[in-house]
Amino acid sequence: MKHWRHIFIISLFLICCSAILLRVGYLNVNEKEFLQSQGDARSIRSKVIPAYRGVIYDRYGEPLAVSSPVFSVWTDPSEKTLVNTDISELARILDLEETSLIKKLRNNSSKEFLWLRRRLPWSTADKIRDLDLDGLYFRSEYKRYYPAGEVASHVVGMTNIDGKGLEGVELIFDHILRGTSGKKIVLQNERGEIIKDLDYLSSPQFGQDLHLSLDLRLQFVAYRELKAAVEANQALSGSLVMLDAETGEILALVNQPSYNPNELQTDYIFGLKNRAVTDTYEPGSTIKPFTIMAALESAEYSAASQIDTAPGFFKVGGKLIEDPVDRGTLSLGEVLKVSSQVGIAKVALALDEDAVYQVLVRAGIDEYIGAGLPGEAQSLIDNSQLSNPIVRATLAYGYGLAISPLQLAQAYLTLASEGLRVPVNVVRQDSPAEERRVFEKTTSSQVVRMMETVTDDTGTAPKARVSGYRVAGKTGTARKVGADGYDDERHVAIFAGMAPASSPKVVLVVVINEPQGLSRGGGEVAAPVFGRVMARSLRLLGVEPDAPGRSA
């Protein structure tokens, strides 16, 4: 009986083996293509080869934005391969709340793809791999890093999590920087790990590098001084623009508040705005040099022409224009030096109706700059009411128009370049820019010489002086418009100027918006920032002093 039982078992085993062999043979002959396709579908994949985004450099090759290789981890929630014990350890490594990760998986249980965490460092990815969990997959990506942080954030900008430009030159030049991803066919195991590259469908085209006109040294000096001034004066915000007076390149551009693109905080939105480019203000007395330009061009005035400002006020229609004190008779140069509203208004009213307006237009006040930064504001200046004496008088001292700090810097550039319009650009220029003459050289030089007196002891901005250098500039203190007209408590303090005045190399504009300290004027609030930034910048640039014995 026992013998027959052994024979039965052996026979049954042989029958099963035969059945299996027959089934294998059948599948190999009749279902080969189907099985092969099913196997390939589970092990052969098309993978994206991410393109390396171009590096952004300053003018001397210091990196401002670079891309570092990282990993992102994802899963297929529909497979339901992760159990609670796995999730607990995974959440710890990913620095996520365990309950939120469980909820995330449950809410997306019908999906076949779900990011668990993006842009992880390699060390973290290795820890996850060591867990040896089924259902986790990795993808190679790049993460953007900004070495200068918030010092250069308003110019450089940032990208989103997918590497697309969101702000600054990252946005404007995204098409140049981003490149094109490639594709390859790979063999992978059941955990999604690549075993072998089978074929390359297309190679990645890396993005182009971009060299900006910024000088990171000057950018840091400007950032430090502006931030200190905004805090010291309890101001709402502040902006600073520095241009190369010969090429029109932006050497520094900073704003306060700012933001760090590497570590965005919940309140970063308030600091995101590039106020030097997007915000417009009535420029106040910083427009007076252009009114002086119009007067000199008329051939009716010279620097020595006498203007009677007594008794310190006069009426234009129903508007009273006044100076703080009765300054009596002033020369045209002295009108600029002490910033006389009465004197400049009387000069403007004696000129042709559109004389000042035309000078401002030639200086580029009403034009789109196109410097290479997003959100550039369009100036507001209107010539439709120039027949009204009040409009002409107020335009002469900077009311009735609105411009950005960058546009004001461009206008002053025409004075610094001896009457030439030079394009303003945030990208380093390797060849001379196209220039066009808008003012006579001698007239522009004369205005600059008159602007030098503003920084004298009896001028409105002695605090803008720089030891060893001649400085030319102009203060501006403009009241802001409120619900009931101009508000005497809210001001914009401005100083715009250039140095060295004998042959300008740097144009600099400082704007402090709504200072709340004891001092609120351009000469007290903005001029000191100008002086400190200009002093350090001229020395860093190696500009030779043009007044060696002169003290600040």
Domain residue ranges of the chain, discontinuous segments joined by +: 52-176+203-211, 216-261+276-540
Which pLDDT score, from 0 to 100, does residue 34 have? 47
Which pLDDT score, from 0 to 100, does residue 141 have? 84
Active site residues: 285
Q: Exposure pattern of 262-272 as b/e (b: 16+ CB <10 Å)? A: eeeeeebeebb
Phi, psi (5° rounding) for residue 211?
A: -105, 115
Helix (H, G, I), strand (E, B) or coil at 1: coil
Inter-residue contact 136 to 246 (CB < 8 Å): no
Which pLDDT score, from 0 to 100, does residue 321 have? 94
The model's pLDDT over 184-200, given as tens digits with 9 standing for 90+, comes to 776 766 655 666 666 66
The answer regarding whether domain 52-176+203-211 maps to CATH 3.40.50.300 reads no
In three-state form (DSSP H/G/I as H, E/B as E, the rest C), the secondary structure along 475-487 is EEEEEEEECCEEE
- How do strand 329-331 and strand 56-57 relate by DSSP bridges? unpaired
Which pLDDT score, from 0 to 100, does residue 424 have? 96
Which pLDDT score, from 0 to 100, does residue 38 have? 43
Which pLDDT score, from 0 to 100, does residue 311 have? 95
Which pLDDT score, from 0 to 100, does residue 488 have? 83
Which pLDDT score, from 0 to 100, does residue 226 have? 98
Instruction: Please determine whether the domains at 52-176+203-211 and 216-261+276-540 fall in the same fold group of CATH.
Output: no
Low-confidence ranges of the chain (pLDDT < 70): 1-43, 45-48, 85, 186, 188-200
Integer Cα distance of 532 and 539 in angstroms: 11
- How do strand 485-499 and strand 472-482 relate by DSSP bridges? antiparallel
How far apart, in Å, are the Cα atoms of 210 and each of 144, 167, 170, 277?
15, 15, 10, 20
The angle subtended at Cα 540 by Cα 535 and Cα 544, nearest 5°, is 75
**Class of the CATH-defined domain 216-261+276-540:** alpha beta
The pTM for the full model equals 0.86
Integer Cα distance of 211 and 425 in angstroms: 12
